[in-house]
Amino acid sequence: MRISFDLDDTLICYHAGAKHEPSRVRWWLRPWVYEPLRLGAADLLRELVKDHEIWVYTTSYRDPRTVSWWLWCYGTRVGRVINQDHHERAFGRRGPSKSPGRFGIHLHVDDSWGVWAENRFDRNVCVVLPDDPDWADKVRAAVACVGRNAPPPLPPDVPEEYRSRGWA
Ligand SMILES: [Mg+2]
């Protein structure tokens, strides 16, 4: 299965009280690779990469090579990093902000309900919020669902706005 992760507020959290993995970036890489990895991500990614292809899909313009080095320091080899440049080259500036299905991604992990809503017919987005301490287990549960061709579970906190439209 191909699984992609968002960066901002999913793997990289800067909000007050955010918990991070201890840095495993080699000192000589630190001038370029310095962002903190969210606590729980190192084990989760190392576990998933044994059976799955791990990609990153971000609306930021971070350099794909730097992102790959960063996760490599935590033991995960990333298949591909799609940043905003790649996304725009593929789809232009209009349309959904992320289209995981069109990159052959089976499950995309993101903090954004907007991304979930854009892809609701593909049912391939797992939303985990930045302050959720159980986020990694929710991703594991979503991977298990998609692995048996079921949609990822809907977390209980779907915004009312989406419920009232009958989307969830
Ligand atoms: Mg995000």
Residue 21 has pLDDT above 80, yes or no: yes
- Dist. CA 59 → ligand 1 center (Å): 8
Where do the domains of the chain lie?
Answer: 2-164
Instruction: Please give the model's pTM, rounded to 2 decimal places.
Output: 0.95
Q: In whole angstroms, what is the distance from residue 44 CA to residue 157 CA?
A: 23
| Cβ neighbourhood burial of 131 (10 Å; 0-12, 13-18, 19+) | middle
What is the 136 CA–ligand 1 centroid distance (Å)? 15
For residue 156, pLDDT beyond 80:
no
79-115 burial, b at 16+ Cβ within 10 Å, e below that, comes to ebbbbbebbeeeeeeeeeebbbbebebbbbbbbbbbb
pLDDT exceeds cutoff 80 at 155:
no
Q: What is the pLDDT of residues 52-90, one digit of tens each?
A: 999 999 999 999 999 999 999 999 999 999 999 999 999
- The per-residue pLDDT of the chain, averaged, comes to 94
CB 66 within 8 A of CB 25: no
Fold for the domain defined by 2-164:
Rossmann fold (3.40.50)
How far is residue 86's CA from residue 151's CA, in Å, rounded to a whole number?
Answer: 27
Ligand 1: centre distance to CA 95 (Å): 18
